[in-house]
Structure 1
Amino acid sequence: MNVEIWSDIACPFCYIGKRKFEDGLQQFSRRDDVNVTFKSFQLDPNAEIEQSQTNAEMLAGKYGMSVEKAKEMTQQVEDQAKEVGLDYKLESSVLTNTKDAHRLTHFAKEEGKMEEMVERLLRAYFTEGKHVGDHDTLVSLAEEVGLVGGAVRSMLDSDRYEDIVREEMQEGADIGVQGVPFFVFNRKYAVSGAQPASAFLEVLEKVQEEENENKINIVSQGDSCTDESC
């Protein structure tokens, strides 16, 4: 089974949703047969790499509310994060453009470390206050998950994977992704948002049931050739 997850490194509900999906997946009997791929999505593709606003100031400006009201909203999100074991420090988050972080996840994918890289970037942004738009920071985080720093820096200094980031954002738009996180199961079912683990488990079981129904039931079997017998 293939599960594609559209998400952004700077999306607080994407990290929460990732945890809830993982909780649901852990309860799924065929979890080892599930292939998970992360797809790029940017909440603000035009964001500056270097920004001076705090998270609350950004929210206040975006939604036309007071900074105090924005801080209340931030606290509510932090409380939701705690429910799934995440220690958010949103006022320490360094606002930035996430394109290079997404490019790094695609580089990591080629090395078989995409999931580890996505997890490390999310933790760095939401709980450690690291600047995930800064190349030195990205190289350091990549080395932590086992990637070669020099190769990562060369990639970041180029435009590699920029086309993939754009294509995946367009691909998401084409199939109806309007917000993230957005989970797509075998290109047949989707779950939008940070739903409870039970919702993910329900979809996983439904997709598995349909896969089993699509298999041909052999009612009688005689002599035949296989790769090892003929």
Structure 2
Amino acid sequence: MKIEIWSDVMCPFCYIGKKNFEAALEKLPFRDEVDVEWKSFQLDRTLDPAKTISTLDYFKQKKGFAEAQAEQMISQVTQAGKNAGIDFNFNDVQITNTYPAHRLLHLSKKYHCSSETEEALFSAHFTEGKNVADTEVLLSIASSVGIDRDEAKIAVTSHQFDEQIDQDLMEAEHHNVRGVPFFILDGKYAVSGAQPTALFEDALQQTYEETGSGSPSAQGGTCDTDECSM
């Protein structure tokens, strides 16, 4: 059974969704039969990969939120993260263009370590306060998951995987993906947002048994090109 997941490194709900999805998968007896493919999505393609901005300033300057509104959103997402076992460190988060990180993610498919790479990218961005557009940061992540450093340097500094990334973005448009995380289960059912573990478990079981009549209807927390919402 194949699971396709559209995600962006700068999306906190994508990290929460990953944790809940993987917790659900671990409970299922057929977990070894599930092939997970991480696909690229960009929440903000206008960001300069040579610059970073804080989370609070990003919400205020780029999204037009009042400071109190931005702080409330950060607080809510932080609590949602704790519930999933994530210690978000938004004070140190460096928001930037995630395209270079997506290049590394696509290389990781060759090494069969996409989930590990995604986890390392999320952790670097959200808990360690690292710049995930910085080449040295990405090379360190590559080494930590077993990707050849020299090969990673070529991947993140060239256009080697740009066509594949752009293909993912076009597929997202085809599937009318407006917010992430977005899961397609075996090409049959769609699950949107950082759903609870129990819902992921039920959806995966339903898909595996091929007895369902439609996609799960619950809507979890997502980030789209305008904002994040619970």
Distance across 2 between alignment mates of 1:92 and 1:202 = 36
Distance across 2 between alignment mates of 1:154 and 1:64 = 37
| 1:111–1:52 Cα change, 3 Å | closer
Q: CA deviation at 1:112?
A: 1.4
Counterpart code for 1:10: M
- Does residue 87 of the first structure (1) align with residue 87 of the second (2)? yes
Distance across 1 between alignment mates of 2:93 and 2:16 = 16
Distance across 2 between alignment mates of 1:29 and 1:68 = 46
Verify the 8 A CA contact 2:54 2:94 in the aligned structure 1: yes
Distance across 2 between alignment mates of 1:52 and 1:118 = 20
1:32-111 pair list within 5 angstroms: 32-111=32-111
TM-score normalised over the length of structure 1 = 0.88
Distance across 2 between alignment mates of 1:4 and 1:52 = 29
Verify the 8 A CA contact 1:21 1:200 in the aligned structure 2: yes
Counterpart code for 2:66: S
Q: CA deviation at 1:64?
A: 2.6
In the alignment of these two chains, the number of paired residues is: 211
Larger radius of gyration: 1
Distance across 2 between alignment mates of 1:48 and 1:77 = 25
- Does residue 184 of the first structure (1) align with residue 178 of the second (2)? no
- RMSD of aligned Cα (Å): 1.3
Report which stretch shifted further, 98-107 or 59-68.
59-68
Partner residue of 1:196? 196
Partner residue of 2:209? 209
Distance across 2 between alignment mates of 1:157 and 1:197 = 37
Partner residue of 1:152? 152
Counterpart code for 2:44: D
Q: CA deviation at 1:172?
A: 1.2
TM-score normalised over the length of structure 2 = 0.88
Identity across aligned pairs (percent)?
Answer: 39
Instruction: Give CA deviations for 1:178-203 in whole Å, capped at 9, x if unaligned.
Output: 11000100111010000111111111
Secondary structure in structure 1 of the residue aligned to 2:180: coil
1:163-174 pair list within 5 angstroms: 163-174=163-174
Report which stretch shifted further, 111-120 or 60-69.
60-69
Q: CA deviation at 1:151?
A: 1.5
Q: CA deviation at 1:49?
A: 1.1
Secondary structure in structure 1 of the residue aligned to 2:190: strand
Verify the 8 A CA contact 1:40 1:102 in the aligned structure 2: yes
Q: CA deviation at 1:150?
A: 1.4
Q: CA deviation at 1:46?
A: 2.0
Report which stretch shifted further, 59-68 or 27-36.
59-68
- Does residue 138 of the first structure (1) align with residue 138 of the second (2)? yes
Counterpart code for 1:67: E
Counterpart code for 1:93: V
